[in-house]
Structure 1
Amino acid sequence: MAAINVTLFGAFTAGIVLDPTTVNGEPAWLKPAKFAASIALVNATLGWLGIHLSIEEEFRRRTSMIIGGGFLIEIVLIGGQALRGVGSHFNRSTTLDGTIGVIMGVTIVVVTCSIAALAVRARRTEFDVHPAFATGILLGIGLFVVGAFEGGVMIAIQSRTVDAAGQTVPFVGWHVVGGFRLAHFVGLHALQVLPLAGYFAARGHHSDTIVHPHRAVVLVASGYGLLLAGSFVLGVAPLVV
């Protein structure tokens, strides 16, 4: 699935160059390209982490098929909407657009719950890797699931922002206050950051450069969790002020 989405990323990027169609002021193929890149990264990461999860092979296979199939549905729908020249998210202009939005929402919930199930199932058994790496994997999946469900806030209010104003994130232009994309981004990339922290802590322990690798991973995860919580609080601030 990672390879498929890398290929789609190339096709969608070509579409940005070759197709002048715009949606909401942006090239129609920009969103599919971004999602293809994101899905490729998530699937590649799950492929890396999945081999270390001490779970039954049949459960791993079934869950992987659900996750891969869900992501395939998601990118096909996003690309299909771009081909039609309409938005894929928060679009209820027609019955078809609304139905596609519902399918996408349900699909991503199923995918997220399936990824969470991998961690829950693996938590019951011993990992075949260093405990610090195992901790990074579990905490990374946990915060990834939190970040994924923060996208539910955007679905609930049918918008990426609420009374957004002031400071924005450089380059991408996401609003820090009143915007939800920053928190969503931080949460999703916990899937890469925390397992990597665990991996390098384990290597550091083997080379005697880190004395307490588990403590180091928990410390990194705590800081990352605070970053995630802080960005989400700033996002919802206009709703509670």
Structure 2
Amino acid sequence: METTTTSRPPAPVRTTPRPAERLCYATGALLVLTGCAHLAVFAVDGGPWDGPVSWRKPVTFGLSFGLTLIAITWVTSYLRVGSRLRTALLVVFAADCVVEVGGITLQAWRRVPSHLNMETGFDTAVSMTLAVGGGVLVVLLTVFAVASFRGRPTGPAGMPLALRAGFAILIVALLSGAAMIARGVVLTRTGHQEAAYHSTAPLKPLHGVSLHAVLVLPALARLLSRTTWSGAARQRIMYAAVGCYTAAVVGAGVWAALTW
């Protein structure tokens, strides 16, 4: 007796964001707006742009955390991660981003340093909260990075390469951020508070450049998918883009090593 099997049709592509995704996108946009608002505060109030106490910190952290939250919410839709796990990780990630930017912004308005500040009990609590929050960020983003390599990401030609390269470079950002905190804590604990505030400067370019590869490279892959170029041509462009971005990260790393 002959039997026939029918293959299941491919699952429809989901285009409408889930509630958790909409929440993350809205939270990211709000963080970006807070960064822009503090740029206006800086324009009115003035003061130094560099240093441990300045309006630069709520500006840059608001923009960076907002863009990163939006980027992670988008790019993880291409990863082979269970929907419930991804939703839980994204919600925790969004909450952690709010805590980080909120603590930094609070200390900026109090006119005291946010990181590595152990001057009072309250300042120590804020500083430790930011440090723990940074640890949570490392864990969450590492989970997504591992997922990008365990299963081939979906998406148009060049997107799997963009995602894997973006997350690999993001690990560099996480490691450099951890190194900044670790060195600053050591200096603070040994009584070198001012040195601790300035010890992070050499690693800041490396941290900043490597942080946003997970947005820039997938965005380029997405833009290329809208062209009429062949998949092979788009893939070659992505390889070149990854090479250029990697060179920028290496350059920032060399500069950090020379000035550390």
Q: TM-score of the superposition, structure 2-length normalised?
A: 0.73
Give the superposition deviation at 1:67: 0.7
Matching of residues 11-160 of structure 1 within 5 Å: 11-17=37-43, 19=45, 28-158=54-184, 159=196
Code of the aligned partner of 1:234: W
Greater Cα offset, 220-229 or 121-130: 121-130
The alignment status of 1:217 with 2:234, answered yes or no, reads no
Between the aligned residues of both structures, percent identity stands at 22
Alpha-carbon contact 2:96-2:133 (below 8 Å) kept:
yes
Looking at structure 1, the residues matched to 52 and 44 of structure 2 have their Cα atoms a distance apart, in angstroms, of 14
| Contact 2:53–2:113 (Cα < 8 Å) also in 1 | no
Give the distance between the partners of 2:49 and 2:225, measured in 1 at CA.
Answer: 46
Q: Against the structure 1 CA distance between its residues 82 and 203, is the aligned structure 2 distance closer, same or farther, given a 3 Å change threshold?
A: same
For residues 77-98 of structure 1, what are the alpha-carbon distances to aligned partners after superposition, in whole Å with 9 as ceiling and x for unaligned?
Answer: 1111122210112323233323
**Could you tell me which amino acid in structure 2 is paired with residue 136 of structure 1?**
A
SS of the residue corresponding to residue 151 of structure 2 reads: coil
SS of alignment partner, residue 202 of structure 2: coil
- Is the Cα contact below 8 Å between 2:158 and 2:238 reproduced in 1? yes
Q: CA deviation at 1:160?
A: 6.9
Q: Please, which runs of 5 or more residues in structure 2 have no aligned partner?
A: 1-26, 185-195
> For 1:228, which of 239, 249, 260 is the aligned residue?
249
- Counterpart code for 2:237: A
Contact kept, 8 Å, 1:160 with 1:179, in 2: the verdict is no
Q: For 1:122 and 1:211, how far apart are their aligned partners in 2? A: 21
- Give the aligned residue type for 2:125: T
Give the deviation of 1:135 after TM superposition.
1.6
* Gap change, CA 1:161 and 1:198, over 3 Å in 2: farther
SS of 1:51 mapped into structure 2:
helix
Deviation (angstroms), 1:198: 2.7
Determine the structure 2 residue equivalent to 1:167. none
Count of residue correspondences: 223
Which amino acid in structure 2 is aligned with residue 216 of structure 1? I
- 2:11 matched to which residue of 1? none
- Residue 71 of structure 2 aligns with an amino acid whose one-letter code is T
Output the CA distance in 2 between the equivalents of 1:160 and 1:232: 20
Structure 2 residue 203 is the aligned partner of structure 1 residue 180:
yes
Which SS does the other structure have where 1:86 is aligned? Answer: coil
The answer for unaligned runs of 5 or more in structure 1 is 165-177
CA distance in 2, matches of 1:133, 1:149: 24
Question: 1:145: Cα distance to partner?
Answer: 2.4
Q: Which amino acid aligns with 1:213?
A: R
Looking at structure 2, the residues matched to 26 and 155 of structure 1 have their Cα atoms a distance apart, in angstroms, of: 13
Worse-superposed segment, 34-43 or 117-126: 117-126
Is the 2:100–2:133 contact (alpha carbons within 8 Å) kept by the matching residues of 1? yes
Matches within 5 A, 1:158-173: 158=184, 159=196
Call closer, same or farther: CA 1:25–1:117 in 2, change over 3 Å: closer
**Bigger radius of gyration among the two:** 2
TM-score (norm 1): 0.78
Contact 2:114 2:127 (C-alpha < 8 Å) held by counterparts: yes
